[in-house]
Amino acid sequence: MVQEVTAAGIEPTAGGKRTRRRGKPSRKSIGMFLCIVPFLVLVFLFSYFPLYGWIYSLFDYKPALGLSGSEFVGLQWFRMLVSSPTQLAEILQVLVNTLAISFLGIATSILPLAFAVFLNEVRTPWFRNAVQTLTTLPNFISWVLVYMIAFSLFSSTGLVNSVLNDWGLISTPIKFLDTDQHIWLTMTLWSIWKGLGWGAIIYLAAISGIDQSLYESARIDGAGRFQTMWYITIPQLMPTYLVLLLLSVANLLNNGMEQYFVFQNAFNKEHIQVLDLYVYNIGITGNSLSMATAIGMLKSVISVILLFTVNAIAKRVRGTSIV
């Protein structure tokens, strides 16, 4: 969520308004640098140093033996990904899940924009504020809690089954959670439930920045409410929408694992396993650290390439980069 906002508006370059002076570093400038060294060390340790760990993908790494005691296997893990039929089938299923859920996310990414456009038509300030506060709340709870809510509403003794039973619609509880059916769709719906109100905030801010004279002149020309929505509000929001859309394309493979981990069970495992969860499942739970590293590494490389590509497209189309 945080990155979306950045990319939409902030150019993370150091070109501040303060002018730069050239020349040999003075004692003062080195002193300033030394002040931030401890933080640079943290960044190095947690973000750069792990890159060295990609080397584990070339070994049969056993934590007990350490890297020096582990056997060097070259590209064995990468070859196994495509040569072993069971492994290949498994990874393809994981990829299909990943892409399916990502595309459903992209297909529904227009909803926060629509939410903002329609909320803008609500003229009662207290109602607007209440809607905004209450619909943003789910964004601030953890996926564990979302799962808890899903569990208390949809488990076999949960509210929905209990209500359906009282109404005489069912005699045995429906297994909403312990099923492999429609799992991509339910995951998308939970993401929407959690993120819709929050996602709309950036569009609401963009709407408040639209030049009011556009609306005034449209009204003088006799434009009605729907016409101003369609011809002014929505076109004005399109640049923001496109940036976020491009970013979600760049994040095609990065669904994160938390949501899928908490919803995962023996019934839905085949269709809920996205790449991030798969890496966890085989790496941490299954202890195939090297195989998991190899897959994670491929994922990281492809993601960075996607990001560069998308950024280049954005540069060509919009004239500015998005990252």
Give residues 185-244 in contact with other proteins (rule: CB under 8 A).
193, 196-197, 201-202, 205, 209, 224-226
Residue 68 sits in the site that holds other proteins (CB under 8 A): no
Q: Which residues contact 193 (CB under 8 A, 6 or more apart)?
A: 138, 146
**Secondary structure letter of residue 222 according to DSSP:** T
Helices (H), 84-211: 85-107, 110-120, 125-136, 143-154, 159-166, 183-208
Q: Which of residues 256-275 bind other proteins (CB under 8 A)?
A: 257-258, 261-262
Verify binding: residue 158, other proteins, rule CB under 8 A: yes
Site for other proteins contains 74 (CB under 8 A): no
What residues between 107 and 136 interact with other proteins by CB under 8 A?
115, 118-119, 121-122, 127, 130-136
103 near other proteins, judged by CB under 8 A: no
Integer Cα distance of 228 and 70 in angstroms: 67
**How many residues form the binding site for other proteins (CB under 8 A)?**
106
- Taking CB under 8 A as the criterion, the residue among 65, 92, 110, 159 binding other proteins is 159
Helix (H) or strand (E) holding 71: strand 71-72
Strands 59-60 and 71-72: antiparallel
Q: Which amino acid is at 144?
A: V
Q: Please, which of residues 292-311 interact with other proteins by CB under 8 A?
A: 292-293, 296-297, 299-300, 303-304, 307
Q: What distance in Å separates the CA atoms of residue 260 and residue 270, rounded to the nearest whole number?
A: 12
CB of 161 to other proteins, least distance (A): 7
Asked if residue 3 binds other proteins (CB under 8 A), the reply is yes
Residue 316 near other proteins by CB under 8 A: no
Integer-rounded Cα Rg, in Å, for the chain is 25
Among 72, 82, 107, 142, binds other proteins (CB under 8 A): 142
What is the chain's length?
Answer: 323
Quick one: DSSP state of residue 23? S
